[in-house]
Amino acid sequence: MKMTKLIANALLLVVAVLWGSGFVATKFALDANVPAGFINFFRGLTFAFFIFLFFYKKICKMNLKEFKAGLVVGLLNFGGYITQTVGIKYTTPSNSAFITAAYVVIVPIIAWGIYRKKIEIKSWISIAFCLLGMAILTGVINKGLTINVGDIYSLVCALFCAGCIVYLSYGAKAVDVSIVSFMMAVVQAIGGLIFCLVSERAQFVYIDWSAAIVPLLYMGIMCSFAAQTIQVLAQKHTSATSAALILMLEALFGSVFSIAFGFEVFTVKLLLGGILVMFSLVIMEIKLQPISTKAHSNFKG
What pLDDT, in 10s, does the model give residues 95-122?
Answer: 666 677 778 778 888 888 887 777 778 7
Closest by Cα among 218, 234, 217 to 181:
234
* Other Cβ atoms within 10 Å of 60 Cβ, number: 8
Question: Does the pLDDT at position 289 exceed 80?
Answer: no
- Using an 8 Å Cβ cutoff, are 235 and 12 in contact? yes
pLDDT at res. 249:
81
Question: Does the pLDDT at position 43 exceed 70?
Answer: yes
pLDDT at res. 285:
65
Question: Does the pLDDT at position 37 exceed 80?
Answer: yes
Question: Between 196 and 116, where is the model more confident?
Answer: 196
Mean pLDDT value of segment 206-221: 92
pLDDT at res. 209:
92
Dihedral over Cα of 135, 138, 143, 148: its sign: negative
Closest by Cα among 210, 211, 233, 213 to 221:
213
Spatial separation of the C-alpha atoms in residues 96 and 154, rounded to whole Å: 6
Which of the four pLDDT bands, split at 50, 70 and 90, describes residue 214?
Answer: very high
pLDDT at res. 48:
92
Q: Which of 168-182, 198-212, 228-242 has the lowest mean pLDDT?
A: 168-182
Spatial separation of the C-alpha atoms in residues 48 and 63, rounded to whole Å: 18
- Using an 8 Å Cβ cutoff, are 171 and 110 in contact? no
pLDDT at res. 140:
66
Question: Does the pLDDT at position 14 exceed 90?
Answer: yes
pLDDT at res. 293:
44
Closest by Cα among 72, 83, 25 to 186:
72
Q: For the stretch 191-210, what's the b/e string if a residue is b when 16 or more beta carbons lie within 10 angstroms of its beta carbon?
A: bbbebbeeebeeeeeebeee
pLDDT at res. 147:
67
Which of the four pLDDT bands, split at 50, 70 and 90, describes residue 294?
Answer: very low
What DSSP designation does 296 have? -
pLDDT at res. 145:
59
pLDDT at res. 75:
92
- Using an 8 Å Cβ cutoff, are 274 and 129 in contact? no
Mean pLDDT value of segment 266-279: 79
Closest by Cα among 218, 196, 198 to 207:
196
Mean predicted lDDT score pLDDT of the chain: 81
Which of the four pLDDT bands, split at 50, 70 and 90, describes residue 127?
Answer: confident
Question: Does the pLDDT at position 60 exceed 80?
Answer: yes
> What is the pTM (predicted TM-score) of this model?
0.76
Dihedral over Cα of 142, 148, 149, 155: its sign: positive
Mean pLDDT value of segment 48-73: 88
Spatial separation of the C-alpha atoms in residues 44 and 48, rounded to whole Å: 6
pLDDT at res. 53:
92
